[in-house]
């Protein structure tokens, strides 16, 4: 589990490598990576579809997901603690949780006074 923190109103970039149960990089060729942010009370507040996440090297399992500054300012995301999860989906549609942890969102002057 990895905890991360971002400011509301900034561009969020998360990079990683999808690995199998043995720690070997997954082959994501023909697969995808998914990202979700959820709260305990409201469920999923933000989800990125596979189209929003770049797979840098399919055979090496590396990916980059980027959440635009405008998306990080959406009204359902306020300062506080959330749970996030990154899932990898291989070409045969097998899903594996790659990372899950606490996402802390902080207030920013840019978000308050655009």
Reported as a single tens digit per residue, the pLDDT across 69-99 is 887 777 677 889 999 999 999 999 999 999 9
Question: pLDDT digit string (tens) for 26-56?
Answer: 999 999 898 888 988 887 877 777 777 878 8
The pTM of the full predicted model, rounded to 2 decimals, is 0.84
Q: Which residues contact 50 (CB under 8 A, 6 or more apart)?
A: 32, 33, 34, 89
Q: Which two tokens stand for residue 40?
A: 């305990």
Domains and CATH numbers, the chain: 4-107 (2.60.40.1930)
């Amino acid at each position: 589990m990895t905890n991360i923190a971002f400011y509301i109103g900034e561009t969020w970039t998360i990079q990683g490598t999808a690995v199998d149960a043995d720690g070997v990089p997954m082959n994501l060729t023909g697969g995808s990576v998914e990202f979700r942010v959820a709260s305990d009370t409201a469920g999923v507040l933000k989800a990125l579809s596979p189209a929003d996440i770049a797979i840098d090297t399919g055979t090496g399992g590396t990916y980059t997901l980027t959440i635009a500054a405008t998306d990080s300012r959406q009204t359902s995301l306020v300062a506080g603690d959330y749970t996030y999860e990154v899932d990898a989906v291989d070409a045969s549609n097998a899903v594996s949780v790659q990372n899950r942890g606490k996402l802390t969102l902080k207030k920013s002057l840019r978000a308050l006074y655009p």
